[in-house]
């Protein structure tokens, strides 16, 4: 934990992106999480992704629940509004926020306790509604703020810091998200920035429910031998299915790859995802195959990472509700109030 | 059978229909009420129904009242007994000299009747079976046939019923004809076989309805939400509030689609539970949309944590609570005013919320619309406290009105221009002395005005802080904001007795029509009482003044614990003996008879010694 206030002055030589902002402009307050916490790496990856995507910092809305992970939105994109809601209920608040203003970029940050334990219901329902968002779970399998209790994503048989074995089945949020209808589902590791940053960029470019499960070891309570969410375990068991690059539609593809190892997918917003296959033949557009591969990984004790499922032409909640293009929060009295003449007609029908 | 002296009344009686739910009786019974209304005579109908879909007893009680007493009177002058299951109970309920109307197809032993009532038998099943072969037709038209018979017996103009058929079945002429035919069947049989004077209850054309409208409170509140600018509605089905969200959907389909694109200027989500409903409302409110949910007691219980967040983080939200009988699942289809305490002080910690108490559908409309202005102005949840009695029954009320020049009050929202011009922004900074800070909508300005919203304590600039003085300052500002609410929420309405009196009565919400009638009864009996109808919490200063003005104040409520009384005790410095509870909470709407009798009895006890003397 650090107590130093971040200097606000930026070095003049910092490189600006196309939106005119430096990487520093996407930072937030200094983290109060433990030194070495995986969550800080994820915050850094989010900052990098936002910078590379040239988003306007204030056009993002960050929402979270309660827990260590849910503190994270304070640590990135400080120029945007954030909402630290109640435990396990961030999805409903994000749904409402999204309905009110469809033009902002919604980033939901949650943890395994927040999403898989207390918030499992809301997690499932936001996925099935197709809210246009990026939903990141910083998954460490443990309750940090209350000091080391198992969460619902802790693997069965994994050992707590106090030496207790977890006897409950674990909940795999990736499987659940695919099952519930999320249209972008990926898993990554906080210690693998090269995989994580492009996945966050791709998720943010996705115009539908994008879910990203990021294994993020808890250095204080879940980084010991016997844990399946420790740095060592994840590094040893990480089974990356692919690597992606996100290319804006205007850019030319220049890098050459061996034929048969590269797939390009155009997302609805025009962004192109370039998928590099690693080792095995894996098609993330095949939902059933994706579920099968994820389950196989679970059975083998692997941490299967990469872009696991993608529907490149998703429909979001606003599409389902057929809402107007203008954000609902910009509509005023004249747009919304039918007026007194209409009311007189309604009265006449009630006599 | 011996004929009793028959009850005689013109435009002043109660008819109760005892039916089986799911039998299609509801629409025939409503036609009965509406046809009388069309004759210029006010009616007040009430559904008394079970928490069930098909097969259980259900009642529809119609009070015909030229004087315009729209509360439930109590007692039944004519029972239309169509349900064998409840026969004994229904027959017992009839006033002496009253009437029992029944299906006389099968002979019944005289022990099934009473000596002191008049029995009118019409062989409904026989008539129906002779005319129709289809089982569903037999069931449905039997209802119209009894409507025809009643129209003869009570002098209801059949042309009014036919006009109503015409409106109901516009473009479905086949249905119109078959209904008219069934009506004629009932009328013809009755005219030919019964003495038209056998029932001395009569409907006579009058001019007592005026331009009033006949509407359910849930429908009215939903329309109020449309007029009040609600764009987001999130809800979870629960009796008796479901028809409110459904009515919002219906109104929006007609009134809120863009004419050119056909797209919706609203979003409705049927959420997975009440926790999600209120979460969606809070998310939308935080982001600058007007949002509401409708629910009932158990839903409020689930929403409590989120309500505390909205209070403490200061997010606008509108919650319509259509109250039902509690606690727990309680009596889902019965009425009560028993969620006052659970709403007024919902959530952990020190919280207080603004409640509005509409008396009828007109105020459901007004208060629903106003709730959005209050929520934005005060940046806090606003509860519209209706109940099943108002929400799910058609009630005669003043027509809805809307000032064409009215614009939404969006409250204190700092704009990009103001931020750019250097105006100081502190999310929880009281700049005007009314306890209400400025807020910004997400996405307003590239570098200024962003802040972090949280349920934890924070300073004036939204920065996390657990410092004692910072916390206390914030809590005191919230209290100041509550005092602002006291001034801007609907003020109470006073009704003064023509004679000076030491006695007062306080009441609210759906008790209103029964209270108005009870006051007339009391006055006629020489009991003078001033009355104050409370329309909002926090209570206006006028409420405290009213209490101090009187020796004793009756507090009339539809709950067991005297919840409004508790709140009055909690908010004002009072001698507890001064507030005398008058409580009715069996799930049926309170009646004028009950109120007048209970107050008269208690007045008898108090009149001997004045309160000052007793206290000294």
Beta-strand pair A262-266/A272-277? antiparallel
Beta-strand pair B57-65/B12-20? antiparallel
* Contact call for residues B227 and A286 (beta carbons, < 8 A): no
- CA closest to B289 among chain A residues: A329
| pTM of the predicted structure, to 2 decimals | 0.95
* Contact call for residues B72 and B516 (beta carbons, < 8 A): no
Q: What value does the mean pLDDT take over residues A213-240?
A: 92
- CA closest to B216 among chain A residues: A350
**DSSP assignment letter at A134:** E
> Which H or E element spans position B381?
strand B381-387
* Contact call for residues A306 and A195 (beta carbons, < 8 A): yes
Which one of B232, B275, B444 has the shortest CB-CB distance to A100?
B232
Q: Residue A47 maps to which CATH number? A: 3.40.50.970
Burial class (CB in 10 A: 0-12, 13-18, 19+), B324: buried
Could A323 and B283 be called an inter-chain contact, meaning their C-beta atoms sit closer than 8 Å? no
Q: What is the dihedral of CA B169, B172, B174, B175, to 10 degrees?
A: -30
pLDDT tens figures, B184-217? 999 999 999 999 889 999 999 999 999 999 999 9
- B240: preceding bond cis by omega (within 30 degrees): yes
Domain spans, chain B = 9-202, 215-397, 416-488, 493-615
Q: Which of B391, B488, B384 is nearest to B435 (CA)?
A: B488
B488 in helix, strand or coil? helix
ipTM of this complex: 0.95
**Cα–Cα distance for residue pair B435/B428, rounded to 1 Å:** 9
**Cα–Cα distance for residue pair B30/B22, rounded to 1 Å:** 15
| Residues in Cβ contact with B293 at an 8 Å cutoff, skipping those fewer than 6 apart | B233, B234, B235, B274, B277, B278, B280, B281, B299, B303, B317, B318, B319, B320
* Contact call for residues A121 and A87 (beta carbons, < 8 A): no
B264 in helix, strand or coil? strand
Q: Which residue has the tokens 């608040």?
A: A93
**Cα–Cα distance for residue pair A84/A65, rounded to 1 Å:** 6
- CA closest to B264 among chain A residues: A323
Distance to chain B for A83, nearest Cα, Å: 5
Distance to chain B for A328, nearest Cα, Å: 6
Q: Which two tokens stand for residue A104?
A: 């902002």
Could A79 and B309 be called an inter-chain contact, meaning their C-beta atoms sit closer than 8 Å? no
Structure confidence at residue A247 (pLDDT): 79
> Does A41 map to a domain?
yes
- CA closest to A73 among chain B residues: B452
- Could you tell me the fold of the domain covering B9-202? Pyruvate-ferredoxin Oxidoreductase; domain 3 (3.40.920)
Distance to chain B for A300, nearest Cα, Å: 35
Which segments of B228-360 does DSSP mark as H helices, in order?
Answer: 242-255, 274-286, 297-313, 340-344
A264 vs B35: which has the higher pLDDT: B35
Residue B3 clears pLDDT 80, i.e. is over it? no
> Does A300 map to a domain?
yes
Distance to chain A for B456, nearest Cα, Å: 9
A125 touches chain B (CB under 8 A): yes
The separation between the first and the last C-alpha atoms of chain A, rounded to the nearest angstrom, is 69
Count of pairs with CB atoms under 8 A, one residue in A, one in B: 227
Q: Where are the beta strands (DSSP E) in A36-178?
A: 60-64, 81-84, 105-111, 133-139, 142-143, 149-150
Mark which residues 211-250 of A lie under 8 Å from B by CB. none
Q: Which two tokens stand for residue B505?
A: 């009565």
> Does A99 map to a domain?
yes
Could B279 and A122 be called an inter-chain contact, meaning their C-beta atoms sit closer than 8 Å? yes
Distance to chain A for B34, nearest Cα, Å: 9
Structure confidence at residue A3 (pLDDT): 52
Q: How far is CA B445 from CA A59, A78, A103, A328, B78, in A?
A: 9, 12, 14, 18, 68
A82 touches chain B (CB under 8 A): yes
**DSSP assignment letter at A66:** S
Q: Chain B partners of A56 at a C-beta cutoff of 8 Å?
A: 446
User: Rounded mean pLDDT of chain B?
Assistant: 95
Residue A147 banded pLDDT, cuts 50, 70, 90? confident
Which one of B263, B284, B305 has the shortest CB-CB distance to A96?
B284
Q: Where are the beta strands (DSSP E) in B522-564?
A: 530-534, 536-537, 552-557
Distance to chain B for A331, nearest Cα, Å: 8
Q: Same CATH topology for B215-397 and B493-615?
A: yes
- CA closest to B312 among chain A residues: A85
Could A328 and B231 be called an inter-chain contact, meaning their C-beta atoms sit closer than 8 Å? yes
DSSP string, A15-40: PB-TTS-BGGGGB-SPP-SPTT-HHH
Q: What value does the mean pLDDT take over residues A263-284?
A: 81
A340 touches chain B (CB under 8 A): yes
> Does A264 map to a domain?
yes
Tell me which residue range forms the domain holding A312. Answer: 23-348
Which option is the CATH number for B493-615: 3.40.50.920, 1.20.1050.140, 3.40.640.10, 3.40.50.300? 3.40.50.920
Sheet of strand B552-557, all strands in order from the earlier edge strand to the far edge = B493-495, B530-534, B503-508, B552-557, B579-583
Q: Which residue has the tokens 């069934």?
A: B182
Q: Which residue has the tokens 């300073």?
A: B459
Q: Chain B partners of A325 at a C-beta cutoff of 8 Å?
A: 261, 263
B367 in helix, strand or coil? helix
A79 touches chain B (CB under 8 A): yes
Structure confidence at residue A269 (pLDDT): 81
Return the CATH class of domain B215-397.
alpha beta
B117 vs A254: which has the higher pLDDT: B117
pLDDT tens figures, A72-96? 999 999 999 999 999 999 999 999 9
């Amino acid at each position: 934990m650090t107590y130093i206030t971040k200097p606000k002055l930026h070095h003049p030589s910092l490189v600006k992106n196309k939106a005119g902002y430096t990487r520093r402009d996407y930072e937030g307050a200094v983290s109060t999480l433990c030194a070495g916490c995986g969550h800080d790496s994820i915050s850094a990856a989010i900052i990098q992704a936002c910078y590379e995507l040239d988003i306007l910092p204030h056009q993002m809305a960050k929402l979270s629940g309660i827990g260590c992970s849910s503190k994270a939105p304070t640590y990135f994109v400080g120029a945007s509004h954030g909402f630290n809601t109640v435990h396990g209920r961030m999805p409903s608040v994000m749904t409402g926020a999204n309905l009110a203003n469809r033009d902002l970029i919604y980033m939901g940050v949650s943890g395994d306790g927040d999403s898989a334990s207390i918030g499992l219901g809301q997690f499932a329902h936001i996925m099935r509604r197709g809210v246009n968002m990026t939903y990141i779970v910083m998954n460490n399998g443990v309750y940090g703020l209350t000091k080391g209790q198992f969460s619902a994503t802790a693997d069965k048989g994994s050992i707590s810091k106090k030496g207790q074995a977890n006897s409950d089945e674990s909940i795999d949020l990736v499987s659940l998200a695919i099952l519930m209808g999320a249209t972008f589902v990926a898993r990554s590791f906080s210690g693998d920035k090269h995989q994580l940053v492009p996945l966050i960029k791709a998720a943010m470019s996705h115009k539908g429910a994008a879910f990203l499960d990021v294994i993020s070891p808890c250095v204080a309570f879940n980084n010991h031998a016997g844990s399946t969410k420790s740095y060592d375990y994840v590094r040893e068991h990480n089974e990356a299915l692919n690597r992606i690059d996100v290319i804006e539609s205007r850019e030319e593809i220049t890098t050459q790859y061996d034929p048969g190892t590269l797939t390009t997918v155009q997302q609805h917003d025009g962004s192109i995802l370039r998928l590099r296959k690693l080792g095995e033949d894996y098609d993330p557009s095949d939902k059933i195959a994706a579920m099968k591969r994820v389950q196989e990984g679970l059975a083998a004790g692997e941490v299967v990472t990469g872009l696991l499922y993608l529907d490149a032409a998703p429909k979001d909640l606003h599409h389902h509700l057929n809402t107007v293009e203008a954000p609902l929060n910009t509509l005023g009295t004249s747009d919304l109030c039918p007026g007194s003449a209409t009311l007189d007609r309604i009265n006449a029908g009630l006599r | 059978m011996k004929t009793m002296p028959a009850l005689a009344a013109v435009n002043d009686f109660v008819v109760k229909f005892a039916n089986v739910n799911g039998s299609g009786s509801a629409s025939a019974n409503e036609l009965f009420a509406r046809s009388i209304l069309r004759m210029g005579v006010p009616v007040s109908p009430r559904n008394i129904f079970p928490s069930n879909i098909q097969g259980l007893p259900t009642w529809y009680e119609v009070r015909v009242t030229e004087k315009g007493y729209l509360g439930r009177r109590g007692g039944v002058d004519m029972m239309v007994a169509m349900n064998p299951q409840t026969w004994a109970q229904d027959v017992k309920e009839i006033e002496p000299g009253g009437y029992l109307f029944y299906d006389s197809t099968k002979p019944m032993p005289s022990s099934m009747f009473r000596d002191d009532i008049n029995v009118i038998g019409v062989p409904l099943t026989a008539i129906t079976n002779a005319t129709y072969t289809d089982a569903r037709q037999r069931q449905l038209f039997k209802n119209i046939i009894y409507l025809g018979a009643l129209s003869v017996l009570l002098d209801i103009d059949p042309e009014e019923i036919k006009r109503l058929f015409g409106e109901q079945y516009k473009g479905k002429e086949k249905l119109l004809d078959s209904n008219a035919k069934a009506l004629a069947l009932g009328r013809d049989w009755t005219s030919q076989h019964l003495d038209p004077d056998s029932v001395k209850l009569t409907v006579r054309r009058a001019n007592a309805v005026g331009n009033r409208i006949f509407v359910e409170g849930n429908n009215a509140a939903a329309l109020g939400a449309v007029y009040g600018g609600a764009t987001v509605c999130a809800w979870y089905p629960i009796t008796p509030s479901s028809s409110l969200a459904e009515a919002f959907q219906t109104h929006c389909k007609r009134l809120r689609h863009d004419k050119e694109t056909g797209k919706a200027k609203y979003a409705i989500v049927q959420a997975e539970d009440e926790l999600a409903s209120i979460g969606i409302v809070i998310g939308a409110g935080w982001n600058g949309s007007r949002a509401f949910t409708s629910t009932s007691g158990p839903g409020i219980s689930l929403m409590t944590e989120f309500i505390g967040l909205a209070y403490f983080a200061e997010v606008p939200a509108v919650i319509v609570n259509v109250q039902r009988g509690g606690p727990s699942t309680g009596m889902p289809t019965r009425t009560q005013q028993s969620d006052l305490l659970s709403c007024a002080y919902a959530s952990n910690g020190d919280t207080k919320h603004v409640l509005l108490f509409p008396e009828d559908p007109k105020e459901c409309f007004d208060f629903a619309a106003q709730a959005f202005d209050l929520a934005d102005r005060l940046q806090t949840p606003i509860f519209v406290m209706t109940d099943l009695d108002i929400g799910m029954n058609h009630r005669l009320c003043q027509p809805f009105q809307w000032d064409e020049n009215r614009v939404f009050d969006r409250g204190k929202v700092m704009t990009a221009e103001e931020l750019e011009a250097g105006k100081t922004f502190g999310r929880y900074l009281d700049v005007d002395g009314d306890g209400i800070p400025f807020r910004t909508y997400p996405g307003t300005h590239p570098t200024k005005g962003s802040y972090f919203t949280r349920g934890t304590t924070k300073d004036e600039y939204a920065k996390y802080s657990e410092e004692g003085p910072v916390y206390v300052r914030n809590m005191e500002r919230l209290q100041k904001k509550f005092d602002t609410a006291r001034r801007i929420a609907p003020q109470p309405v006073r009704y003064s007795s023509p004679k000076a009196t030491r006695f007062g009565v306080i009441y609210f919400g759906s008790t209103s029509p029964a209270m108005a009638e009870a006051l007339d009864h009391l006055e006629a009996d020489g009991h003078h009482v001033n009355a104050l109808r409370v329309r909002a919490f926090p209570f206006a200063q006028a409420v405290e003044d009213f209490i101090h003005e009187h020796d004793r104040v009756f507090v009339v409520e539809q709950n067991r614990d005297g919840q409004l009384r508790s709140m009055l005790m909690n908010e004002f410095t009072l001698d507890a003996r001064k507030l005398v509870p008058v409580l009715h909470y069996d799930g049926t709407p309170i009646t004028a008879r009950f109120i007048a009798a209970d107050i008269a009895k208690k007045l008898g006890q108090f009149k001997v010694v004045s309160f000052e003397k007793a206290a000294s």
